[in-house]
Structure 1
Amino acid sequence: MITKQLILTKLQKSLIENPNINAMWLEGSDGTGSADNYSDLDIVMDVVDGFEADSFHLIEKTLQEIGPLDLNSEESYQPLLKYKVYHLQGTPEFLFLDVTIQSESRRFKFTIENDSEVPYVLFDKKGIIQYQSLDKNSLHQQLIKRLISLENTMKQKARAEKYIARGKFMEAFGYYQKFVLEPLVELLRINYKPINHDYYIVSISKHLPKDVCVELEGLFKNSSLDELKENICKAYEWFYRELPKVREKLNRSVRMKGC
């Protein structure tokens, strides 16, 4: 039987001796200690610049020694980060292998206060995995600017409303998500979990209070144009109830830091 532990053991044994691979660790639920039977594997490796493609080839060779791959998909990602998703045939359908290759020159540091991004270290030969404290003042100033962008997005809710008027549910629903739900969700995150403000729905049930999640979940339930119209009004009103409170909280924090 192919298990998560078997996959990790094989990969670690295959990769640890390669001089171009500096470190390997797990993130996601394995890092935070919240993994269950439905969890995937979030594997991250730090490699010497220029060895990124070869690293993927080594991973794929090792995985194919375990069993055939029925998914091998390269995704777009940030500079100095390459990302691919794999799935081994015969393993649980939930057991995706999300593999990120980080170039050494990225010199990324984990933020101590961010309990959603925690590395579970498999090996680290060069002290790659490092930590830094959160610069709260810098984050708050960034979020103050972000509030302007979120409000400007919410002000475009008419992009959804015009499709309600036209009787076109799919278009209305799509624009509702982009111009109403997304800014509201991020505003709530800034209020309750600012360090993870850009996570959208990832771990949202853990990051927001239960009563807030219950109210927010209702806004995701839309089966008719009438419900959509009503939820746009609810979301808009909620956004503008929260916005001044969140803005004042952030401004107060920045002022206190400046004293």
Structure 2
Amino acid sequence: MGIRSRIISHLSEGMINYPEINALWLEGSDGTSTSDHLSDIDVVIHVNSGFETKALSICENLLEEIAALDISYEEPRQHSNMRYKVFHLENTPSYLFIDVNVYSHRPFIEFDRFNDSEVPIVLFDKKQVIQIREHNESELQQTLRNRLYHLENTIKQKARVEKYIERNKFIEAIGYYHKFIISPLVEVLRIKYKPINHDYYIVCISKHLPREIAQQLEDLYKVTSIEDISKHTQQAYQWFYEVLKDVQNNLNE
């Protein structure tokens, strides 16, 4: 058994008998059947409210039974019932992070049947926590219309980039370039080509966009000077409105 399979099996076998742990599943590349030798492991644990800290501790102890940990880091979250911690075992591939999410914020976790980028691989589910719901196209379209409003009003602020171009301040210019130009462009492209994953930003973007579109977008990321930022800002701004018009027409059909 390889280390990846061993980690998954050991976590499942070690957690299933805790009555406070309701379900354990995998997401990410395991769910989409795209894992390779560079993939991490995305683990999700659903627990009773108040058991979040204990669940993370159980997970850590189980991993330490396999090998010592050289990373055990919990990212801060605003809500105690949604926790995230990343682990890495010593002497395992450097890319084999174990990303653990612990949820207790609602009794059921829903997955859209139409969304092939979010597919749970259920290790156990004692309370039918995982629910597969039918796709609601009208709901998605309303969400997209709302997003288009915000995206357009973000990119309209391109003068925030241009003023730093004028001041010849590269660091500030590139920061605002990504915030006010690239980010809205990325999302409007996603809305056109992979609308159900409009909010994924760059995650899997090379897979979600047509190759020629991904290449065109990649060129806009290749910035090494104020001159590049200036030129790319105008190109991206024009492209955004071309795509926006197409998307709005499609949503209004």
TM (norm. structure 1) is 0.94
- Give distance in 2, aligned partners of 1:107 and 1:156: 40
Would the aligned equivalents of 1:160 and 1:175 in 2 still touch at CA under 8 Å? yes
- Give distance in 2, aligned partners of 1:213 and 1:104: 36
The match for 1:72 is: 72
| Secondary structure in 1 matching 2:232 | helix
Structure 2 residues not aligned, in runs of 5+: none
Structure 1 residues not aligned, in runs of 5+: 253-259
- Give distance in 2, aligned partners of 1:140 and 1:158: 30
Would the aligned equivalents of 1:2 and 1:91 in 2 still touch at CA under 8 Å? no
| Secondary structure in 2 matching 1:226 | helix
Matches for 1:157-196 after TM superposition, within 5 Å = 157-196=158-197
Q: What's the offset of the Cα at 1:136?
A: 0.8
Q: What code does the residue aligned with 1:144 have?
A: R
Would the aligned equivalents of 2:29 and 2:39 in 1 still touch at CA under 8 Å? yes
Write the deviation string for residues 105-140 of structure 1: whole angstroms up to 9, x where unpaired: 342211100000001111112221111012111110
Would the aligned equivalents of 1:190 and 1:197 in 2 still touch at CA under 8 Å? yes
- Give distance in 2, aligned partners of 1:78 and 1:14: 28
Q: What's the offset of the Cα at 1:104?
A: 6.3
Would the aligned equivalents of 2:111 and 2:130 in 1 still touch at CA under 8 Å? yes
Write the deviation string for residues 2-54 of structure 1: whole angstroms up to 9, x where unpaired: 71111112111111111111111110000000000000000011111111111
- Give distance in 1, aligned partners of 2:78 and 2:200: 16
Matches for 1:24-63 after TM superposition, within 5 Å = 24-63=24-63
Would the aligned equivalents of 1:144 and 1:251 in 2 still touch at CA under 8 Å? no
- Give distance in 2, aligned partners of 1:53 and 1:104: 14
The match for 1:144 is: 145
| Secondary structure in 2 matching 1:25 | strand
Write the deviation string for residues 164-188 of structure 1: whole angstroms up to 9, x where unpaired: 1111111111100000000000000
Q: What code does the residue aligned with 2:61 have?
A: K
- Give distance in 1, aligned partners of 2:44 and 2:31: 11
Matches for 1:187-206 after TM superposition, within 5 Å = 187-206=188-207
| Secondary structure in 1 matching 2:31 | helix
- Give distance in 2, aligned partners of 1:210 and 1:83: 33
State yes or no: 1:94 paired with 2:92. no
- Give distance in 2, aligned partners of 1:78 and 1:107: 20
| Secondary structure in 2 matching 1:228 | helix
The match for 1:123 is: 124
Aligned-residue CA RMSD (Å): 1.4
The match for 1:255 is: none
Matches for 1:218-229 after TM superposition, within 5 Å = 218-229=219-230
Would the aligned equivalents of 1:49 and 1:105 in 2 still touch at CA under 8 Å? no
Would the aligned equivalents of 1:23 and 1:46 in 2 still touch at CA under 8 Å? yes
| Secondary structure in 2 matching 1:31 | coil
Q: What code does the residue aligned with 2:15 have?
A: L
- Give distance in 1, aligned partners of 2:227 and 2:246: 30
Q: What's the offset of the Cα at 1:76?
A: 3.5
Q: What's the offset of the Cα at 1:208?
A: 0.7
- Give distance in 2, aligned partners of 1:236 and 1:104: 39
- Give distance in 2, aligned partners of 1:156 and 1:18: 52
TM (norm. structure 2) is 0.96
Q: What's the offset of the Cα at 1:220?
A: 0.4
Write the deviation string for residues 76-111 of structure 1: whole angstroms up to 9, x where unpaired: 347442111111111111011100111163422111
Q: What's the offset of the Cα at 1:160?
A: 1.2
The match for 1:109 is: 110
Would the aligned equivalents of 2:82 and 2:105 in 1 still touch at CA under 8 Å? no
What number of residue pairs does the alignment pair up? 252
Would the aligned equivalents of 1:52 and 1:101 in 2 still touch at CA under 8 Å? yes
